[in-house]
Amino acid sequence: MTGYLYHCELALLELAERSWDDITVEVRMEVLDDIEFLYQDSSDPFVLLQSKHRERAGRLSETGKDFWRSVASWVDALTVLGRLSDGTMPLLRLATTQVAAEGTFLHKLRPGPGRSVDDALAGMEAVARAAEPGNTADDRKKFTDLTPAQRYRLVAAMEISDASPLMSDLDSKKLLSFRT
């Protein structure tokens, strides 16, 4: 239940933040992704956001369900939108309360100077092709079934927003970042 409440609170806070720059931004929830942002005159989202809330701090796993289920969800959504091979690609953002450890491909997908699509792609491909863990095999297969160009396009559009505030901390930390 906390995860769904987190979706709602995160969606409203992000919508409020985006509205400072463009009042036509709209939010949809649980259509193509957990949260989507689109402009009033378009039915295609410019952001697909996966939201993962965990009560306990910890590391975001390169082999875990949180990440690979997000990838599978994005592949499905981009297939529906017809964006896997061409057209404008939305930002594919994973907001998680967990931390992407330094040296992982997840850390390479964070925004900023350490970002490396090529390194992240190589790491993702290696993990996706591994036999284990079995609980993410179907999700990883969706990724490996893409063409090399589609995998690159997908990874280039991904962004990991790790160490997001816990539900109990969201209001105070996020609201302080709003413009006045």
Rounded to whole angstroms, the Cα distance separating 47 from 179 reads: 21
- The full length of the chain comes to 180
List, for residues 59-117, the tens digit of each pLDDT value.
Answer: 878 998 989 999 999 999 999 999 999 889 999 999 888 888 899 999 999 999 999 99
pTM (two decimals) = 0.85
List, for residues 119-151, the tens digit of each pLDDT value.
Answer: 999 999 999 999 888 899 999 999 999 999 999
> What letters, b where the CB count within 10 A reaches 16 and e where it falls short, cover 143-171?
beebeeebbebbbebbbbbbebbebeebe
DSSP 49: E
